[in-house]
A and B are shown apart, each in its own frame.
Chain A
Amino acid sequence: MKKSSAFLSFVLLFVFLFLPLLPSHAGGEPLQGAEPLQGAGPVFDYSVDAQASAEGGVKPAFAFPSAKRLKAGDYPQMNGVNPRLAVWLAAQMHLWFAAFVLAVPIFVFIIEFAGIVRKDGRYDRMAYEFIRVSLTAYSITAVTGGLFLFSLIVFYPGLLSYLTAIFGGSMLIYAGLFLVESACLYIYYYGWHAMKSGDLKLLHLGVGLLLNLSGTALMFIANAWATFMMSPSGVDPAGVFDGNVWHAVQNRLWMPMNVHRFIANVSYGASIVGAYAAYSFLSARTKKERARYDWMGYTASFISIAALLPLPFAGYWLTAEIYGYSQQMGITLMGGSFGWLFIIQAVIIGALFLSANYYLWCGMLRSPGGQRYLKYVKYIAFVLFACFLVWFTPHTLILRPSEMKALGGPYHPLLGPLGLMPAKNTAVNIMLIFTYLSFLLYRRAGKTSVVKWAKTGDAAEAALFAAGVVNIVFLGVYYGYFTNTVYKVSSSAAQVATTISVIAVSVIIESRIFKNSVSSGPFEWGKMPARSQYALFLLAVSFTWLMGLMGYVRSAIRGRWHVFSIMKDGSPDAFTPAIGYAAKVVSSGTVIFMAVIIFIFWLSRLTGGKDNGHE
Chain B
Amino acid sequence: MELPVRFAVSFIAAVAVFLALFLIMDVLILNALGLSFIFRG
Contact = CB atoms under 8 A, between A and B. Distances in A.
A471 B26 contact: yes
B6 A467 contact: no
A494 B29 contact: yes
B23 A459 contact: no
Given A459-B8, A479-B39, 7 more contacts: A460-B10, A462-B11, A466-B11, A471-B26, A475-B26, A482-B39, A498-B22
A463 B14 contact: yes
A487 interface: yes
A106 to B, nearest CB: 31
Contacts of A483: 39
A470 B35 contact: no
A436 to B, nearest CB: 16
B25 A466 contact: no
Contacts of A471: 19, 22-23, 26
Contacts of B18: 463-464, 466-468
Contacts of B11: 459-460, 462-463, 466
A467 B15 CA distance: 5
Contacts of A458: 7
Most buried by A among B18, B19, B29: B18
Contacts of B23: 471
A494 B26 contact: yes
Most buried by B among A456, A475, A498: A456
Contacts of B6: 455-456
A410 B35 CA distance: 33
Given A494-B29, A494-B30, A498-B22, A487 B35 contact: yes
A363 to B, nearest CB: 27
Contact of B22 (A478, A484, A501): A501
Contacts of A498: 22, 25
B25 A497 contact: yes
A164 interface: no
Nearest to B13: A463
Contacts of A463: 10-15, 17-18
Given A460-B14, A463-B14, A467-B19, A493 B29 contact: yes
A464 B16 CA distance: 10
Nearest to A479: B39
B3 interface: yes
Contacts of B21: 467
Interface string A442-482: 00000000000001101110111011101100010011001
Interface residues of A, number: 28
Interface residues of B, number: 23
A516 interface: no
A478 B30 CA distance: 13
Interface of B: 3, 6-8, 10-15, 17-19, 21-23, 25-26, 29-30, 33, 35, 39
Contacts of A460: 10-11, 14
B30 A490 contact: yes
Most buried by B among A459, A464, A497, A501: A459
B33 to A, nearest CB: 5
Interface string A114-158: 000000000000000000000000000000000000000000000
A357 interface: no
A456 B33 CA distance: 37
A86 B25 CA distance: 51
A302 to B, nearest CB: 27
B30 A491 contact: yes
Contacts of B15: 463, 466-467, 470
9 contacts: A455-B3, A456-B7, A460-B10, A463-B14, A468-B22, A470-B15, A484-B39, A490-B29, A501-B25
Interface in A367-404: none
Contacts of B17: 463
A531 to B, nearest CB: 35
B34 to A, nearest CB: 8
Contacts of B10: 455-456, 459-460, 463
Contact of B29 (A456, A462, A482, A497): A497
A493 B32 CA distance: 11
A464 B25 contact: no
A458 B11 CA distance: 9
B20 to A, nearest CB: 9
A501 B29 CA distance: 13
Given A455-B6, A475-B26, A490 B33 contact: yes
Contact of A493 (B3, B19, B33): B33
A490 B32 CA distance: 10
A557 B36 CA distance: 35
Contacts of A484: 39
A486 interface: yes
A486 B14 contact: no
A478 B10 CA distance: 28
Q: Ordered nearest first, which 8 A-B pairs have the shortest CB separation? A: A463-B14, A467-B18, A459-B10, A471-B22, A483-B39, A463-B15, A459-B11, A467-B19
B30 to A, nearest CB: 6
A314 B15 CA distance: 30
A491 B27 CA distance: 10
A484 B36 CA distance: 13
B14 A470 contact: no
Contact of A486 (B3, B25, B35): B35
A156 to B, nearest CB: 43
B14 A464 contact: yes
Contacts of B19: 467, 470-471
Contacts of A470: 15, 19
Nearest to B23: A471
